[in-house]
Each structure stands twice: as C-alpha cells, then as structure tokens.
A and B are shown apart, each in its own frame.
Chain A
Amino acid sequence: MMVPAILILGGLIFLSGSALIAFYWAARSGQFRNLKKGSEVIFDEDEPIGQSTDRFPMKHKE
C-alpha cells in the first residue's frame, strides 16, 4: 500500500507545485502584461489580422 500512496501523494504535490510555479513564472515573465499584443501572436505578415484563412472548397473556383 506504501508505493501507491507515495505515487499518488507525489503526483499531487508535483502537479500542484508545477501549477503554482507555472502561475508564478507567467506573472513574473510578463505573460499577463500587454494582453492586446498577446492576443495577436497568432497573426503575422503572411496571415495578418483582417484576413480570413478558410473557405468552403467550392469558392476557390471564383
């Protein structure tokens, strides 16, 4: 019974700890600052804001 208990408690501590560390890291490294820019990271020069990237196949014939 010892090994499962250690595994489960260890997993709990590891997971909670990693969540706290991740939150701390995110706050420290400025992940929560300049949120507007954050929301725009999925766009770039090739696929800029204001440009759709998907269509029904038929429309390509136009």
Chain B
Amino acid sequence: MTTLAESLNPSSSEQTLEKIERSAIDASARLPVLLFFGTAIFWLLIGSLLALVASFKMSIPGFLDNEAWLTFGRVRPAHMNTVIYGWASAAGIGVGLWLMARLCRVAMMHTSLLIVAAIFWNLGVLVGTLGILAGDSRSIEWLEFPGYSTPILFIAYAFIGIWGIIMFRFRRPGHVYVSQWYLLAAFLWFPWLYGTVNILLIWQPILGSAQGAVNWWYAHNVLGLWFTPIGLASAYYMIPKVIGRPIHSYYLSILGFWSLALFYSWNGMHHLIGGPFPAWMISASVVASIMMFIPVITVAINHHMTMKGHFGGLKWSPTLRFTVFGAMSYTVVSFQGSLMAIPTLNQITHFTHYTIGHSHLGLYAFFTMMMFGAMYYITPRLVGWEWPSANLIRWHFWLAAIGILVMVGALTLGGIIQGLALYDPAVNFMNSMHFASPFLWVRSISGLLLTAAHVIFAVHFVMMLLQMGSKRGEPTLFARPVLEEETLSV
C-alpha cells in the first residue's frame, strides 16, 4: 500500500511492474464500484417515483397537491437532480472507475478515497434532494440543489478526480486506449464545469441574463462533457470485448474524441436562441452544434462497422443489447440535437415537450441504457456470481426499451403539435395545451413501464449481492470454446 504522496510519482513503487491479473483488478474494485452502483440504483428508484408524481400532475392537476413538498415545483426538480446526480453520475462514476482500473491494468489503489467519495456524494445528493423538497430549490435548471449541498458534492468529486489522475500515472506502460482518453477527460471536465458554475451562479452570482448563458453552458456540457464521454468510453470497451473484435477504425475513434473535445463546450448557447444575448454567441453555438456531426458520425460509423456481422450477439448478450441500444440512441439524439440548434426548427420545438423528449432520449435511451449494459458486464466480475435470472434481464430490457421509445415518441409528436399550435396566432393558447394533453397521458404510462423495469433491475441487483440462485461458472471467463464458434458464426 503506497501513501498518497508516493503515488504522485509512479517510479517510487514497484507495483506498476508486476503483472496484475484481471481478477485481481476486479477484486480491488469490488467495494467502491458496488457502493456507487448500489446507491445509484437506490436513487434511480427514488427518481422514478418523483418522476411519476410530477408526470401525473401534468394530467391530473389536483394529484397530491395538499402537501407543499409534493407540489410540481418541488417534485420536478427533485426528480431531475436525483436522476442526474444520484443515478446517472454515480452509475457513470462506478463504470468509469472500473474501466479506468482495467484499462490502466493496475489494481485499484487508495480505494478508501473512493469510499469516502461515495459517502460524500450520496450525502450531497440526499441533502440536496431534501433541500429541494423543503423549498430551497435554486430554480436554475440542472442546478436546483441548494447552495449548502453543492460543496459536499464537489468534495466527493475532488477525491474521484485525484484518484483518476493517480491511476493514470500508475498505468502499465503502452498505448492509451480511446476509452481512457474519454474517461480521463470526463474526470477533469466535470470539476471544471461544476466548480465554474458554482462560483458564477451560487458563490458570487453574476448579474442579469448572463446567468442564463452560464446556466446553459453548464447544463449542456454536463451531458456532453461528462455523461457522453463516460457512455462512449463504456461502448468503446464493451462492444469490442463482448463480440471479441477490435474497433473497426481506431483512427476514427481518436478523431471523434478530439473533435468532441474541440466543439462540445460551445454548444450550450443553442438553448437560448431568441433570447437576450449577443447574436455572435448564439451563432457560434449553432455552428458548433452543426460541427458535432463530425464526432457523432465517427462514433456511429465505428460502432456500426464493428458490430457488422455480429448483430447476432444481441440475441445472447445482455451487455451488448443494452450497449448497442444506447449507441444507436446516441446517434439519433445527437443528430436530433444538431438539427434542433438550427434556428428555423428551434422556433417550433423551443418551449415545448419536444425538448423534454430530446433530453430523455439523451439521458435515458443513450446514457442510462449504456450504464445498464456496463453494469450487467461488471457486476458479475465484482461479486463473483452470475446474474441469477436471464428472464429478469429480458423483462428489464424490454420494459425499459419500449418504455423509453414510447415516451420519446409521445413527447416528440406532442411537442411538434404543441409547437405548431403555439406558433399559429389563430390558435388560442389554451388549445395548444389541450392538444398536448393526450401525449402527456402516454408519457405517464410509459413512465410506469420504466419504473417497473427499474424495480426489476433493483431486485435482481440485490439477488446478485446476496448470491441467490445456483452457481454458474467462473465470472471472469464467461466464454466457453464451444460457445465461441456459435457466436462467431452468427
């Protein structure tokens, strides 16, 4: 065990030179990664419940309105922040930690840092969520957590960032795989985003409409520079590993990484088209949004061409099925996002349910499905136990996949109808709301499907931790030579 100071200089330890087996790496990752996974799933359930309450309120205004903490203005931001920070970020951190250790090919060091980070992170989310429900929301989208909870999250995050850099310094020599680039970047980008936005909006709030610019710079970058790199890092590892075939064009994957790093942070202003901002800010953002076609197309070509001839793998691998669903959604959501930045289309979709559909496509159909896929791969290797039931995984997949497709479809269609109605001066404003209301019912019902999927996953995860079911083979060596031929011939 090396001290923190020694870890700043890899040559001070001989640990790097030892050949450490995959299973040793997995064993070292067990506690911190499971802690992040377990708490993430807990927040996913809480977030789903809050989402259902908020969603049904759209159709039944009087639903649960006799308690202040259950009103829409509190439940809705509580939903958003529990799923962003409690679920998606924590799941992403768990997957990121494990991938980092695997790709650096060294056992996790200083796991106590990570355990402290997990405790602080969840404490931050808990304090923040209770704060929102108590009425302390900051009314800044994606940043509703009150000022007294954000420093806790930042401290938790600092531990993770420091750990990431130490791991990278200690990696076994050789090529830095594309997933590692994405992860290291995400580990550095998030504290920058979160720190900057907290300074400018909470600690020393800047004045006037500039707050909007900072708000959307942050909110969009959380998706693009935090969730996207983690999701893609996972896809670039899981797809090749599951089908046993290297990435189709490694050149494109590297081009995709560097062009994402170059263009993404300019994108946020496209949320403010038509707002009180200098035209150049909006124009620069629209141009950068269109430039996002470069990284997106490189990723899309790469994942498709890697999968080509191996699509049969979707039949047998839960990881592959969730990951490929996520990868396809990434292409769709990114294309949609670039198009939505074009001002003439934005005129229709802005301020409608279409945007909500778009964000669920990004955060759920892309990122969350990607995380489910990664968790199905990683958890057996940590617990030393196979998932007890294939049927539960199937139910989880189909409920989640159908649920999210219905939700995004309903919100997209409803949003377009609502947008066209809002845009037409002959249509009464109330009518534009009524046109959207059947689609909101569909959204609530699809939310029930997603919640059911999450409950199934949570139950399965607990069964996994308790090692229920019969023992099935070695978790680190799933593939059997017999099965290999079958998979490659598909």
**Taking the nearest CB of chain A, how far is it from the CB of B176, in angstroms?**
6
The digit string for A4-32, where 1 denotes a CB below 8 A from any CB of B, is: 10011001000100110001001000011
Chain B residues, Cβ within 8 Å of A62: 480, 482-483
Check: B488 CB closer than 8 A to any chain A CB. yes
Using A32-B254, A39-B250 as known contacts, say yes or no to A52 and B313 having CB atoms under 8 A apart: yes
Chain B residues, Cβ within 8 Å of A58: 390
Using A32-B254, A35-B254 as known contacts, say yes or no to A57 and B242 having CB atoms under 8 A apart: no
The digit string for B190-201, where 1 denotes a CB below 8 A from any CB of A, is: 001001100110
Chain A residues, Cβ within 8 Å of B245: 49-50
Using A39-B247, A60-B472, A62-B483 as known contacts, say yes or no to A50 and B488 having CB atoms under 8 A apart: yes
Q: Is the interface of B mostly helix, strand, loop or mixed?
A: helix
Among the stretches B133-141, B278-286, B317-325, B364-372, the one at the interface with A is B317-325
Among the stretches B72-80, B381-389, B401-409, the one at the interface with A is B381-389
Asked whether, in the complex, the Cβ of A42 is within 8 Å of the Cβ of B242, the reply is: no
Asked whether, in the complex, the Cβ of A15 is within 8 Å of the Cβ of B192, the reply is: yes
Check: B393 CB closer than 8 A to any chain A CB. yes
Chain A residues, Cβ within 8 Å of B192: 11, 15
Q: Give Cα A18 to B377, complex, Å.
A: 33
Chain A residues, Cβ within 8 Å of B393: 56-57
Chain B residues, Cβ within 8 Å of A52: 242-244, 313, 317, 478-479, 483-484, 487-488
Using A31-B176, A37-B175, A42-B241 as known contacts, say yes or no to A54 and B318 having CB atoms under 8 A apart: yes
Asked whether, in the complex, the Cβ of B390 is within 8 Å of the Cβ of A43, the reply is: no
Using A18-B188, A39-B246, A40-B246 as known contacts, say yes or no to A60 and B199 having CB atoms under 8 A apart: no
Asked whether, in the complex, the Cβ of B246 is within 8 Å of the Cβ of A57, the reply is: no
Asked whether, in the complex, the Cβ of A57 is within 8 Å of the Cβ of B386, the reply is: yes
Chain A residues, Cβ within 8 Å of B261: 19
Asked whether, in the complex, the Cβ of A56 is within 8 Å of the Cβ of B488, the reply is: no
Check: B22 CB closer than 8 A to any chain A CB. yes
**Taking the nearest CB of chain A, how far is it from the CB of B40, in angstroms?**
21
Chain B residues, Cβ within 8 Å of A37: 175
Q: Give Cα A2 to B203, complex, Å.
A: 13
Q: Give Cα A11 to B386, complex, Å.
A: 44
Q: Give Cα A23 to B204, complex, Å.
A: 33
Asked whether, in the complex, the Cβ of B176 is within 8 Å of the Cβ of A4, the reply is: no
Q: Give Cα A55 to B317, complex, Å.
A: 5
In-complex Cβ contact of A56 among B195, B241, B390 (8 A): B390
Using A8-B199, A31-B176 as known contacts, say yes or no to A60 and B386 having CB atoms under 8 A apart: yes
Using A54-B320, A57-B387 as known contacts, say yes or no to A41 and B177 having CB atoms under 8 A apart: yes
Chain A residues, Cβ within 8 Å of B313: 52
Asked whether, in the complex, the Cβ of B483 is within 8 Å of the Cβ of A11, the reply is: no
Check: B235 CB closer than 8 A to any chain A CB. no
Chain B residues, Cβ within 8 Å of A50: 244-245, 484, 488
Chain B residues, Cβ within 8 Å of A55: 316-317, 478-479, 483
In-complex Cβ contact of A53 among B189, B242, B482 (8 A): B242
Asked whether, in the complex, the Cβ of A51 is within 8 Å of the Cβ of B479, the reply is: yes
Check: B240 CB closer than 8 A to any chain A CB. yes
Asked whether, in the complex, the Cβ of A57 is within 8 Å of the Cβ of B484, the reply is: no
Q: Give Cα A31 to B317, complex, Å.
A: 32
Asked whether, in the complex, the Cβ of A53 is within 8 Å of the Cβ of B175, the reply is: no
Identify the 6 closest CB pairs spanning chains A and B, nearest first. Answer: A39-B250, A39-B246, A58-B390, A35-B250, A60-B472, A56-B390
Given A42-B240, A52-B488, output 15 extra A-B contacts at Cβ < 8 Å. A23-B258, A31-B175, A35-B251, A38-B178, A41-B175, A42-B241, A47-B244, A47-B479, A50-B488, A52-B479, A54-B320, A54-B377, A54-B479, A56-B393, A57-B390
